[in-house]
Amino acid sequence: MASIDEYVAIDPLALMFPSSVYAKIVEMLHPHVPSVAEIAEAAKGMTAEQRSFVLARARILSAYGKAVEEAMKQR
């Protein structure tokens, strides 16, 4: 299998605060507003292998998101 660089980080604040408080802090400091332009800029130096890996992960996350949406509609 090809080698893909993977980075895992744990935010120390996540270890100290309850989830509800931590989520508010993160959103306040780093609002989640995906930007195609910012993602494209960050991806410029990626290899074809890295791009393929990222696309596969994005598709997996998308599938999970769709499953969650469907499950919430059933309630």
At residue 3 the predicted structure's pLDDT band, cuts being 50, 70 and 90, is low
What's the pLDDT score for residue 8?
73
What CA–CA distance (Å, rounded) separates 27 from 20? 11
* C-alpha separations of 19 from 1, 6, 13, 52 in Å: 36, 25, 10, 32
* C-alpha separations of 37 from 6, 9, 33, 34 in Å: 23, 24, 12, 9
What CA–CA distance (Å, rounded) separates 75 from 66? 15
What's the pLDDT score for residue 4?
66
What's the pLDDT score for residue 69?
94
Helix (H, G, I), strand (E, B) or coil at 5: coil
29-53 per-position pLDDT tens digit: 887 777 899 889 989 989 999 999 9
Q: Where are the domains of the chain?
A: 10-44, 45-75
What's the pLDDT score for residue 35?
86
